[in-house]
Structure 1
Amino acid sequence: MESDIVTAEQLDRIFGALADPTRRAMLAQLAHGESTVNALVEPSGLSQPTVSKHLKILEQAGLVSRGRAAQTRPVRLEAAPLEAAARWIDHYKAFWTTSYDRLDTYLQDLKGEDI
């Protein structure tokens, strides 16, 4: 995710990865610092192969990366794809802000009619 431009395919992978609660829990754990696969297995109650499959999906979305440190391959959170997804969502903020403003105006009008 080196470019500021995010393709539809990249967004699909990011949101697809975020759609699963197990993967979101892994990202939350990784937000506190890098971890090993075994450390990610413990709180999930899942098998190591299952956790590895989830990590592969997160890697394909660019949300995590694996390094090399001696005998381990630490997993770390990569924030850039999350920022890209947030920018995409933020693009629609004007729409929902306008909608809420119109609703607020409508509710104020209703209150005025009740008096």
Structure 2
Amino acid sequence: MSAFQQSDFIAHALRMVVPMRREFGRSVNVQTMLADPGYAQEVCEVALGSTNAQLREQAAYLQRLLGGPRQAAAAPAQAAAPSVADDDDHSTESERLRSLQAEKYRRGVR
């Protein structure tokens, strides 16, 4: 995980701590999530079952960060070229989350 992805991961994981404690009574350790992908995946799976839409979005984003590059076991010859749609979806979601964060910041500054 690059330094940018790591800081992004930490920021999103920190936003999950309080909602996870409120809804599930579960304490989330961000340092452990960073060191142990299995633990992080388990926390994300629990969060995806939440009634809180923002918590589900954060968990889905973290799962994408944890997934890393996908490897196809036996890709057909037609699908040999990598899909650009996955990169577009990731960048679109990232841009959307950043704009929400910027808007929240602007509201807090006023």
TM-score (norm 1): 0.28
Higher relative contact order (CA 8 A, sep 6+): 1
Structure ranking higher in strand proportion? 1
Structure ranking higher in helix proportion? 2
